[in-house]
Structure 1
């Protein structure tokens, strides 16, 4: 049977269940702004906060392992996705007071709930840190790069949505779309600001990914060109090309987003994809 999860972590069961229920509540609640004060969206923010905090507890209980008085870590594709969605939800919550976008909130909340379930069902294997002093930093930088590129993808979606709104044709009465009548404002902020935020997250993710690869190459003996390494380096090349194209040739719009999606897909295959194959399809553990 292909889908055969590892033994789930029982301590993380109830935080995971609470996070899933809270996220689904946040996705289902039909909140609407009323006169600039989002009264009906207060339950949404409460649910997102409860889900986010419960997910954090579940992540800690799933990934932090104490054996023989020593602290270790357990990672898998499920926990990687859960950590990524946790970081993206934090970024969304920080900025969405200005952006609104109930559709994005619903999709993001459902995805977060699904990743919480995957993180509990497929917690992965215990990772060896013996003789690997820099391994925890390597893992933290890697997950940070996942979260930052996830935030970049979120902003890219907002960027494209805002761009489409501003380019919408006039109505039958000849009235310009609301966003066009707001002096270039889209989704609560200037379109160029959304574009700048997207590239800022790409830059930050690229720095984290570069440090992750550098630490892995420098402190892993011997270095192995496995699937994870190959896809990670390929994603680094794609992101580097995007940033060079942005600085040197002014890439923007659809072209920049396509490069961002391509690099993110390769990065997803690097760790999440390889761990999924090892854990779920081949039923094999790994200490790398």
Structure 2
């Protein structure tokens, strides 16, 4: 009895130390993500002068701290912690890096407003959850599938926020509202081209992930992959139709935004919907 209590106490202490260590990285990273988003929002509203150096510096430090969290909490010796919020945190970190590097050549600064608060919330949830779903014995091919899938999800998430901004900009122009948001955004054509660049990149990454990952599918039901595969394929088809519509009929603006949000929503549901049910609701790892 005493040994059981001692083991339980030791396990609780280890979990507490793990959570505290995670928060040492997650809390300041989340704070800097929020700072970058708020500072960019104030610039967008015209309440503060633009200061890209400050915003990007805060975002870069946040990304480094976020990487520190991933290194201490997600990498578990010879295994990888693939818990629900940990995967979300990893995708948010990739999104952060893509935004930082893209901002040097593309007008993506305003995407910080929607994406960095999301990264902050998911990072804090990951640090607080202390959930462990070890992924061991990952083969070279499966590792490439996971990497490409994470990159694809990250690009499509960025594209979804870009689609929201494009939708708001297009609607404002149609209503002849040329103040506020429109004054700080790039021209509509630039926003539209940027969205489709993201979609093309996301489609190439997702297609490659499908091709590499398919040989590892043995039994859809036993591997709990039915919903993931079906929704992913439908999401891929939505983006394929959008690209065909762009080429054949010149789809853009509101139409492109709606298709982008629909496709991204399906992709998010394909993984996180099924994993939420399995890991959070049913506690099946």
Same-fold status (TM-score > 0.5): yes
Q: What is the match of residue 238 of structure 2?
A: 238
Q: d(CA) in 1 for partners of 2:282 and 2:114?
A: 31
Quote the offset at 1:168 in angstroms: 4.1
* 1:19 and 2:59 correspond: no
Quote the offset at 1:128 in angstroms: 2.8
Equivalent residues, number: 260
Unpaired segments ≥5 residues, structure 1: 1-6, 171-176, 180-184
* 1:280 and 2:253 correspond: no
CA offsets 1:173-203 (integer angstroms, 9 cap, x no match): xxxx369xxxxx9645332121111011111
Are 2:238 and 2:263, in contact at CA under 8 Å, matched by a contact in 1?
yes
CA offsets 1:99-142 (integer angstroms, 9 cap, x no match): 664xx544433211101012223454111325x33111111111
CA offsets 1:3-32 (integer angstroms, 9 cap, x no match): xxxx68444331112212222333455754
* Structure 1 or 2: more helix by fraction: 2
Q: What is the match of residue 119 of structure 2?
A: 112
Match of 2:64 among 53, 72, 86: 53
Quote the offset at 1:226 in angstroms: 1.7
Are 1:153 and 1:260, in contact at CA under 8 Å, matched by a contact in 2?
yes
* 1:193 and 2:190 correspond: yes
Distance 1:194 1:106, change over 3 A: closer
Unpaired segments ≥5 residues, structure 2: 1-14
RMSD: 3.1
Q: What is the match of residue 50 of structure 2?
A: 38
Superposed, which structure 2 residues align to 1:245-284 within 5 Å? 245-284=245-284
Normalised TM-score (structure 2): 0.78
Are 2:163 and 2:261, in contact at CA under 8 Å, matched by a contact in 1?
no
Q: What is the match of residue 169 of structure 2?
A: 162
Quote the offset at 1:239 in angstroms: 1.4
Q: d(CA) in 2 for partners of 1:141 and 1:267?
A: 14
Normalised TM-score (structure 1): 0.77
CA offsets 1:134-190 (integer angstroms, 9 cap, x no match): 1111111111011110111122122223323433437xxxxxx369xxxxx964533
Q: d(CA) in 1 for partners of 2:229 and 2:108?
A: 37
* 1:75 and 2:86 correspond: no
Distance 1:45 1:189, change over 3 A: same
